[in-house]
Chain A
Amino acid sequence: MQRAVVTAAVALAAAAALAGCGGTREPVRIGVVLPDDFAQAAQLAADEINDAGGIRGRRLEIVRDAVPPGTPDQPSAEIGRAQTVLRVPLAAVVGHDGSASSLAASPVYNAARVLQLVPTGTSRLLQTAGPWTLALAPNDSVEGRFIAAFVRGQLRARSVVLFYVNDEYGVGLRDGAREALAGHGTRVLREVRYDAQADLAVLLDAAIRSEVPDVVIVAGYTDAVGGLARLVRDRRLATRVVAGDGAHALPAVITASAGAAEGLYLVTFWLPGAGDSTAQRFAQAYRTRLGREPAARDAMAYDALRLVASAIAAVGERPARVREYLQSLGVSRPRYQGVTGKIGFGAGAGPARFVMGVVRGAVVVPAKAGR
């Protein structure tokens, strides 16, 4: 009797295995909630993985809630997007774009206990948004300090006006820069709050009314950075504009600046010309596929998707296991070698590094020391 039961169990297992080999297995699904142009890098990564045989023999499928390029950040809309992609079981979600959007959506993912890997968000609040939210990039304060160090050390600015977008990204970057500039001989003439609808000209004119700064630091996004670059040029100010990673989206920032982006300093996590063979390979593939130069956030999206895929390949697609795997990188496991560098999440593991670039001829190149 016992023997018969064992035989039957083996037969059932074999039948199940054969069924799996028949191509009817469910794909591994990862959500991607990013603007369309940004998401193309993630799709590139997914295609490469599938071309290489998928994850554990299963096809990787990206589940998206499309965000048209140039869609302004609307945090309230992010909640709906998160709910949309979560309608199907996901191993993880890569998204959203920027800190504010990611923070707005984070409660949805934490409630659903699905890992949210934020590729470019740098808000400090992402670290406390919930156990299911991880940020790939360093936080805003760190970036602010990086900018301040560049302005003070490389540009040798004696005075700055600090424009910051009135959200968590801008405020965090402002705080980091403010802290790094204080007491080091560089005066902050004014801190100016703005948003997407702000009249930047009025704000800039008031800020420079008594003194023209050496540098205008912009903790904001492409439109405002391009706009301010244009205003500086129009007013023939001998002022350089340094912006955070939020503006590193070519050619949008060039368009927004109406051709005044030349010489604009931009913080980025990665530049196509820099990095190892992995980065070179990505840049080449990106160019081949999309016909344009990849930006840092493309590399970050690419890394984020590949990172999640490697976790699933290692421990399976259960969200809890994926999260534990990622949290162990740089702690009990070696850091992940991505396009943007080595990625880990443990204390001191430090996500991707910063690079200061400058716009030269419609591309961003690494900034050199000095003026």
Chain B
Amino acid sequence: MRTFSIRASVRLVVVSGVLLAGVTGGYAAVSLFPAVRAVQRATAPLQATGSRLDNTGEWVDRTARVAEQALEPGGPAALDSLRGWLGAYDLLDLSRPIAGVSDSVRMVLVSVSAAASRFAVTLEEMGALVEMGRRREAAARLAQARGAQQGLLDLAARAQASGLAGVLAAQRRVEVVSRRLAAVFVLWVAGSAIILGSAVRLVRRRLELPLRDLQDGLARIADGDLSVQLVPRTEDEIAALTRQFNQMTAVLRSRAEAQGQMAAASVLLANAAHEVNNPLMSIGAMAESRLADAGVPVPARRDLEEILRQVRRASRLLRGIVRFVRPAPAGELRTDVNDVAREALELLAFQFAADGVAFALDLASGVPRAQVDAQSLEHILVALLANAHEALVRAGAGERQTTVRTWARDGAVCVEVRDSGPGVAPEIRERLFVPFATSRVGGHVGLGLYTARRIAREAGGDLVFEQPAERAGAVFRLTLPAAPARPPVPPAAPVAPPGPAEVRARPTSLAGLKVLLVEDESAVRAPLARFLTRRGASVREAGDGEAALALLASEPADVVIADCRMPVMDGVALYRTLQVRHPSLAARMLFLSGDVAQLGAVGAEIAADRVLPKPLELAELERFILAHQ
């Protein structure tokens, strides 16, 4: 459905409002203005007419009274006063036309002027007659003047009536206009209500509801529901926003699924490593045991030594994989970048070799330790190396070379991973470190470089990309702050000699040492027991913690070595029990663990140096036991 855009709709409402206000206001003004002007035209001349008539009437009245006084005995003295009043006739200005009066009023005013003039001249004659002593004739003139006075009053009334007729006509016009405006006002109110209603409906339908949909969708995403897909209500700007929202949600969902699969894979990998560790350790221990037998013929001895070498190699690889996929608490922020570079390469060495990618290490000697924990650094380097490997494999035939170089500069430690691939296309460079932006295919999440840079920056350094030249490979340069030099260790304070009860000489061999070996897998437990027995220890074996406790109940032990992960009662539970029942024995308890990541969980209660990771070498086990006695 195609509808107006929000911008066009808002404009339509605004224009409608303006038109409504403008048209109705203009109509009101056009209708009212002439009516008001008509009232003004009618009233202003009427005021002037009324004023003139009032003045004339007052003048006539007072002049007539003075004229009466002039007729009385001693009247001639009042003649001067009468002449003064007659002279004031000019001030009435009766000849001056009054603008705007109707013709009927004008004619009445002309008659008023003529009547006033007649009145004045009559009294002029009366004064002359009085002056000449002809009082009777003078009285007759006064009577005539009185008649003219009455005529003036009648004319004034006519003028007022004529003027009022004009005002009344104007007033009627105003009333008509007012009624018309009232109707217009009703229409205006109705129109306003329609426009307002339309505006409210528009805002609700086009803005409020779609925005509420988006708000709800975002809330569901915040709650972890990435399956949200919104349906656009209309075709407008918010519909475009809604589609982008859906697209973003789909991307998030696919990324989350990929991350979830990767997390599950990590767990599986860690568990598999643990499961592989025990057989490896069993194989290794058996091989070592057999090698300890001097009677083993030379060819067989060579085979056993090769077995042992491969076991050790597999063990290192497994440790590295487990360390990589299972997060562990950050270790000390003093890391030898060269060591980590080697370990990272070792993790990927097989894949590099399998794909024919050569790699080289150009590690400067004397590089200070970086102020970052080893696992974080390993993450960064593995990401960079994997990136380089991917680029080289995708590039196809040609030289495939990856070089890791380290050096120190201005208090910083630098690591560079360079490959001989085609480099990064210009359109991708700007998105290299953007989360979920990947040019790779096949389940890549697109977080590798983003996470690597984030870790680098959190450590106070940075990770940047450099393009040496087009199709001249790619260079990622990691800069990390150098760790401060470790302060010199103060000389140890003299320690008071232990008391008689605490004196316990550290054994130099396992001879006579009572060892309780707690391990659920007999394939591991048996070679270890045979080795320790061969080294002179008195070994008892238990399959879980409870069995160990039963053995301890019958006979004490000098040292308990327990696997961390066992059925029924694992090593940590056993440790907790011993802390209660045999605290001194718990303090000397040692642990084996096939899961490196588990060390972190154990470490909260147990010192890390008391845990020996599997697979282990038998000689290593002996040194481990002696070091903790």
Encoded as 1 (CB less than 8 Å from any A CB) or 0, chain B from 519 to 547 comes to: 00000000000000000000000000000
Q: Do A199 and B97 have beta carbons less than 8 Å apart?
A: no
Tell me what chain A mostly uses at the interface: helix, strand, loop, or mixed. helix
Which chain B residues lie closer than 8 Å to A168 at the CB level? 95
B121 interfacial contact with A, CB 8 Å: yes
CA distance A170 to B132 in the complex (A): 25
Bitwise, B76-100 to A at CB < 8 A (1) or not (0) is 0000000000100110000111010
Residues A83 and B103 in contact, CB atoms below 8 Å apart: yes
CB distance from A92 to the nearest CB of B (A): 20
Are the CB atoms of A198 and B125 closer together than 8 Å? yes
Within the complex, what minimum Cβ distance (angstroms) separates A33 from chain B?
A: 15
Contact residues in A for B86 (Cβ distance below 8 Å): 193
Please tell me if the beta carbons of A171 and B113 are within 8 angstroms of each other in the complex.
Answer: no
In residues 192-214 of chain A, which contact B (Cβ within 8 Å)? 192-195, 197-199, 202-203, 205-207, 209
Which chain B positions have C-beta within 8 A of A207? 128
Task: Report how far A313 CA is from B74 CA in the complex, Å.
Answer: 68
B131 interface hit (Cβ, 8 Å): yes
The one of B90, B97, B111, B113 in contact with A129, judged by C-beta atoms closer than 8 angstroms, is B97
Q: Are A171 and B121 in contact (CB under 8 A)?
A: no
Known: A107-B106, A209-B132. A197 touches B118 (CB 8 A): yes
Between A74, A199, A209, the greatest number of chain B beta carbons within 10 A of the residue's beta carbon is seen for: A199
Q: Could you tell me if A195 and B103 are in contact, using CB atoms closer than 8 angstroms?
A: no
Q: What CA separation (Å) do A207 and B124 show in the bound complex?
A: 11
Q: In angstroms, how far is the closest chain B Cβ from the Cβ of A227?
A: 14
Do A166 and B121 contact each other (CB < 8 Å), given the known contacts A76-B114, A104-B110, A205-B128? yes
Contact A103 B97 (CB under 8 A): yes
A357 to chain B, nearest CB (A): 28
Q: Is B117 on the interface with A (CB-CB < 8 A)? A: yes
List residues of chain A with CB within 8 A of the CB of B129.
202, 206
Report if B571 contacts A (CB, 8 A): no
A45 within 8 A of B: no
CB neighbours (8 Å) of A206 from chain B are 127-129, 131-132
CA distance A167 to B96 in the complex (A): 11
State which of A74, A103, A130, A198 has its C-beta within 8 Å of the C-beta of B95.
Answer: A103
Residues of B within 8 A of A107 (CB): 97, 99, 101, 106
Q: Is A75 an interface residue (CB 8 A)?
A: yes
Closest A residue to B127 by CB, please name it: A206
Q: Does A222 contact B (CB under 8 A)?
A: no
- Assess whether A355 is interfacial by the CB under 8 Å rule: no
Most chain A beta-carbon neighbours within 10 Å: one of B86, B95, B120, B121: B95
In the bound complex, residues from chain B placing their C-beta under 8 Å from that of A199 are 125
Question: Nearest B residue to A107 by beta-carbon distance?
Answer: B97
Q: Is A365 an interface residue (CB 8 A)?
A: no
> Within 8 Å CB of A100, what residues of B?
95
Cα of A100 to Cα of B96 in the assembled complex, Å: 10
Interface size of B in residues (CB-CB distance below 8 Å): 27
Known pairs A76-B107, A206-B127; A171 contacts B117 (CB<8 A)? no
CB pair A192 B97 closer than 8 Å: no
Closest Cβ of chain B to A114, distance in Å, is: 15
Distance of A105 from chain B, by nearest CB (Å): 9
Would you call B121 and A193 a contact (CB within 8 A)?
yes
Are the C-beta atoms of B106 and A166 separated by less than 8 Å? Answer: no
The distance from the CB of B143 to the nearest CB of chain A, in whole angstroms, is 15
Cβ of B138 to closest chain A Cβ, rounded Å: 10
CA distance A166 to B86 in the complex (A): 11
Once the chains are docked, how many angstroms separate the CA of A207 from the CA of B101? 40
* Interchain nearest-CB distance for B120 vs A (Å): 6
* A79 at interface by CB-CB < 8 Å: yes
0/1 per residue, B112-145, Cβ < 8 Å to A? 0110011011001101110110000100000000
Chain A residues within 8 Å of chain B by Cβ, number:
33
| Closest chain A CB from B148 CB (angstroms) | 11
A166 B120 Cβ-Cβ under 8 A: yes
In Å, the complex CA distance between A79 and B110 comes to 10
Interface assignment of A123: CB less than 8 Å from any CB of chain B = yes
Residue A329 interfacial (CB < 8 Å): no
Tell me the minimal C-beta distance from A137 to chain B in angstroms.
Answer: 17
Closest to B124 in A: A193
CB neighbours of A129 from chain B (8 A):
97
Do B107 and A79 touch (CB < 8 A)? yes
Which of A79, A194, A202, A203 makes the CB contact (< 8 A) with B103? A79
Interchain CA distance A79-B103 in the complex, whole Å: 7
Of B99, B110, B131, which is within 8 A of A209 by CB?
Answer: B131
Cβ–Cβ contact A79 & B106, under 8 A: yes
CA distance A192 to B96 in the complex (A): 21
Query: Once the chains are docked, how many angstroms separate the CA of A309 from the CA of B89?
Result: 41
CB closest chain-A residue, reference B104: A79
Chain B residues near A193: list those with CB within 8 A. Answer: 86, 89, 120-121, 124
A79 CA to B137 CA in the complex, in Å? 36
Q: Which of B114, B129, B131 has the most CB of A within 10 A?
A: B114
Q: Which residue of B lies closest to A207 (CB)?
A: B128
Given contacts A203-B125, A203-B128, are A108 and B103 in contact (CB under 8 A)?
A: yes
Q: Taking A171-B90, A193-B120, A198-B121 as contacts, is the C-beta distance between A104 and B97 under 8 angstroms? A: yes
Q: CA separation between A206 and B106, bound complex, in Å?
A: 36
Q: Interface readout for B386-411 with A: 1 if CB under 8 Å, 0 if not?
A: 00000000000000000000000000
**Residues of chain A from 71 to 92 with CB closer than 8 A to chain B in the complex:** 74-76, 79-80, 83
Contact of B121 among A79, A108, A195, A209 (CB under 8 A): A195
Q: Which residue of A lies closest to B130 (CB)?
A: A206
Q: B99, B106, B121: which contacts A197 (Cβ < 8 A)?
A: B121
Q: Chain B residues near A106 (CB, 8 Å)?
A: 97
Distance, CA A76 to CA B128, complexed state (A): 29
Q: State the CA gap A11–B137 with chains docked (Å).
A: 82
- Report Cα–Cα, A168/B89, bound state, in Å: 12
Contact flag A167-B117 (CB < 8 Å), given A100-B95, A125-B96: yes
Question: What's the least CB distance linking A34 to chain B, in Å?
Answer: 19
**Min distance, Cβ A76 to any Cβ of chain B, angstroms:** 4
Measured in the bound complex, the distance between the Cα atoms of B99 and A171 in whole Å is 22
A residues in contact with B90, CB < 8 Å? 171
Say yes or no: B95 contacts A125, CB within 8 Å.
yes
Residues from chain A with Cβ under 8 Å of B114 in the complex: 74-76
Complex CA distance for A168 and B97, rounded to whole angstroms: 11
Q: Cβ of B101: which chain A residues have Cβ within 8 Å of it? A: 107
Q: Which of A164-180 contact B (CB under 8 A)?
A: 166-168, 171
Q: How far, in Å, is A201 (CB) from chain B's closest CB?
A: 10
Chain B residues within 8 Å of A83, by CB: 103
Distance in Å: Cβ of B154 to nearest Cβ of chain A: 15
User: Which residues of chain B come closer than 8 Å to A192, judged between CB atoms?
Assistant: 124
Closest to A123 in B: B95
CA of A106 to CA of B103 in the docked complex: distance in angstroms? 11
User: Chain A residues near B97 (CB, 8 Å)?
Assistant: 103-104, 106-107, 125, 129
Min CB distance, B134 to chain A, in Å? 8
CA distance A171 to B89 in the complex (A): 11
Residue A76 contacts which of B95, B110, B121, B137 (CB distance < 8 angstroms)?
A: B110
- Measured between alpha carbons, how far is A130 from B120 in the docked complex, in Å? 28
Residue of A nearest to B132 (CB): A206
> Does A194 contact B121, Cβ atoms closer than 8 Å?
yes
Q: Once the chains are docked, how many angstroms separate the CA of A123 from the CA of B90?
A: 14
Given contacts A107-B99, A166-B89, contact A202 B128 (CB under 8 A): yes
Measured in the bound complex, the distance between the Cα atoms of B390 and A18 in whole Å is: 101
- If the complex has contacts A103-B97, A167-B95, are A75 and B125 also in contact, measured as CB distance less than 8 A? no
What 6 A-B pairs come out closest when comparing CB atoms?
Answer: A206-B128, A168-B95, A75-B110, A76-B110, A166-B117, A195-B121
30 contacts between A and B (CB under 8 A): A75-B114, A76-B114, A79-B103, A79-B106, A100-B95, A103-B97, A104-B106, A107-B101, A108-B103, A125-B95, A129-B97, A130-B99, A166-B89, A166-B117, A166-B120, A166-B121, A167-B117, A192-B124, A194-B121, A197-B121, A198-B124, A202-B125, A202-B128, A202-B132, A203-B125, A203-B128, A205-B128, A206-B132, A207-B128, A209-B132
Task: Identify 4 new A-B residue pairs, CB closer than 8 A, beyond the known A76-B114, A194-B124.
Answer: A108-B103, A125-B96, A199-B125, A206-B129
